[in-house]
Chains A and B, each alone.
Chain A
């Protein structure tokens, strides 16, 4: 399969990428890892006339700890996060990075690309929206920092201006006593999940002080399970509370039937994932080491 023909522009800096985008207009797309874009082009779901390649911009791939934040260059590959001792400080990041698709795709796919594509089935936006995350974006007019919850507005839609490029993703490291876990179910390794849930809890003793729950693949953007959060907040996190919260989360999901499953099936699945992710998050908040990974047949 040949993708439709396009003109290729190799940017040497973010500033140059922004000006290339501005010059090429609406028919330009950014090429980061290409693991979604190239398949979409082959299927003619995307036919950009111009591609601006970010892969040759120096110093756009890094993982750094700065005060209480982790900073990721937009071009950081999933596999680099998977194998990073720095990122391991926040285990939920490893849950996500180590389970996206397969080894080959993780070697190419990027964090910035995943967020900017805003695929409703993408993993990163679900995980990072349970944490305090913001994106630094560069355009011709300069740089601005956008909180993740303002960044994605709809399926495949972000607030990025046509000439803007994500430069860096900043994630606040959760405090002591906080734990998170991400679980996604997929039919096979290389595909997008059927449903996914990220949970972040902060405990004081057995009582849940703060909680964030986001569900993926069951709405046009990551869905906040506000009612489920309400059930858990201030409660002692036992079996009963988690069961009631899962019931609430199921009702808050808004899944579409597709080749991955019926709406009813996805609703069931998201409840199960929410319970399991919550148990794992609670154990981690208590300081236990728990291995969590994408589930697939």
Chain B
């Protein structure tokens, strides 16, 4: 069994009916950093990120594949990390909200959310910013309906979405250098 990397707090253990569960070795990259660890198969990606890698920027909202607070990028595509087993991220590149800023410098998306008041309590914000990241990566100049569609899987209970919408428009402008 490979030795757990530094910072790995625990490997949850469980039994199924009729026998112990075989832990699974897992190698993945999170925000550019490589990890080689051992996990229980039922461990969800979001729990790996939060509980074992101490990346608590990714939030657990509904835990039912609805709210999108746990959205991260897996090989460049947004996924709800409460609905992906960590073992499925074998060999994958994961990017969380912690991976947005470079050298302490906020990116256009983060600046835009701040400047447009695109958040109140901030719980949904990491997921929304990751969705914005995927949207702008494939479509630097999204129109109204494309923005709405891009964040349809993210629930915000504070803002009423209008300022989030403005934040994404502003992020697109900033990213284009306009």
Contact residues in A for B22 (Cβ distance below 8 Å): 7-8
| Minimum distance in angstroms from B145 CB to a CB of chain A | 9
Answer yes or no: B42 CB below 8 A from chain A CBs: yes
Q: Which of chain B's residues has its CB closest to A56's CB?
A: B90
Q: Which of B17, B40, B131 contacts A103 (CB 8 A)?
A: B131
Residues of B within 8 A of A8 (CB): 22, 24, 41, 85, 87
Are A49 and B16 in touch, CB under 8 angstroms?
A: yes
Indicate the size class of the contact surface on chain A.
20 to 34
The verdict on B88 contacting chain A, using a C-beta distance below 8 Å, is: yes
Contact of A189 among B84, B90, B152 (CB under 8 A): B152
Decide if A35 touches B65 in the complex (CB within 8 Å).
yes
Cα separation A107 to B65 with both chains bound (whole Å): 13
A residues 157-184 near B (Cβ < 8 Å) are none
Q: Which residues of A contact B77 (CB under 8 A)?
A: 79, 107
A3-B42 in contact (CB<8A)? yes
Residues of chain A within 8 A (CB-CB) of B84 are 34, 38, 108
Report whether B21 and A5 are in contact in the complex, using a CB–CB cutoff of 8 Å: yes
Q: Which of B21, B83, B87 contacts A108 (CB 8 A)?
A: B83
B150 touches A34 (CB 8 A): no
A35 CB contacts on chain B under 8 angstroms: 65, 83
**Chain A 98-112 against B: per-residue CB contact (8 Å), 1 yes, 0 no?**
000111110110000
Q: Which residues of A contact B65 (CB under 8 A)?
A: 35, 38-39, 105, 190
Near B by CB (< 8 A), chain A positions 1-60 give 1-8, 10, 31, 34-35, 38-39, 42, 49, 51, 53, 55-56
- Min CB distance, A6 to chain B, in Å? 6
A-B CB proximity, top 7 nearest: A102-B153, A189-B152, A8-B41, A5-B14, A107-B77, A5-B16, A104-B78
Once A2-B42, A38-B83 are accepted as A-B contacts, the answer to whether A189 and B153 lie under 8 Å apart by CB is yes
Q: What's the Cα separation between A38 and B131 when bound, in Å?
A: 21
Alpha-carbon distance A55/B71, docked complex (angstroms): 20
Using a CB–CB cutoff of 8 Å, the interface residues on chain B facing chain A are 12, 14-18, 21-22, 24, 40-42, 44, 47, 63-66, 68, 71, 74, 77-80, 83-85, 87-88, 90, 131, 134, 149-150, 152-154
Out of A7, A31, A53, A103, name the residue touching B153 (CB < 8 Å): A103
Nearest CB in chain A to that of B41: its residue: A8
Tell me whether A1 and B16 are in contact in the complex, defined as CB-CB below 8 angstroms, given that A6-B41, A107-B77, A189-B152 are known contacts.
no
Q: Give chain B nearest CB distance to A197 CB in angstroms.
A: 21
- When distances are taken between beta carbons in the complex, the residues of chain B under 8 Å from A1 are 63
Give chain B nearest CB distance to A267 CB in angstroms: 27
Give A286 to B178 CA distance when docked, in angstroms.
42
Task: Provide 7 A-B residue pairs closer than 8 Å at the C-beta atoms, listed in order of the A residue.
Answer: A5-B21, A8-B87, A34-B85, A103-B150, A103-B153, A188-B66, A190-B68
Interface check A191, CB cutoff 8 A: yes
Judge whether B88 and A103 touch: CB under 8 Å.
no
Q: In the complex, A23→B30 CA distance in Å? A: 35
In the complex, which residue of chain B has the Cβ closest to the Cβ of A296? B152
Q: In the complex the two chains form, is B71's CB within 8 Å of A104's CB?
A: yes
With beta carbons under 8 angstroms apart, the residue of B18, B87, B134 that contacts A53 is B87
Residues on the B chain within 8 Å of A189, using CB: 152-153
Which residues does chain B contribute within 8 Å of A3, judged by CB atoms? 42, 44
B16 with A107: CB separation less than 8 A: no
Report whether B88 and A53 are in contact in the complex, using a CB–CB cutoff of 8 Å: yes
**Bound Cα distance from A136 to B169, whole angstroms:** 45
B154 CB contacts on chain A under 8 angstroms? 102
B153 touches A190 (CB 8 A): yes
Query: A7 CA to B90 CA in the complex, in Å?
Result: 16
Distance between Cα atoms of A276 and B64 in the complex (Å): 32
Taken together as a complex, chains A and B put the C-alpha atoms of A35 and B64 apart, in Å, by 10
CB contacts (< 8 Å) of A6 on chain B: these are 16, 21, 41-42
How far apart are the CA atoms of A277 and B34 in the complex, in Å?
Answer: 49
The distance in angstroms between the C-alpha atoms of A4 and B149, with both chains bound, is 33
Residue of B nearest to A191 (CB): B66
Could you tell me the distance in whole angstroms from the C-beta of A165 to the nearest C-beta in chain B? 17
Query: Which one, A4, A101, A103, contacts B42 given CB within 8 A?
Result: A4
CA distance A105 to B65 in the complex (A): 8
Chain A residues near B63: list those with CB within 8 A.
Answer: 1, 42
What residues of A have a CB within 8 angstroms of the CB of B90 in the complex? 10, 56
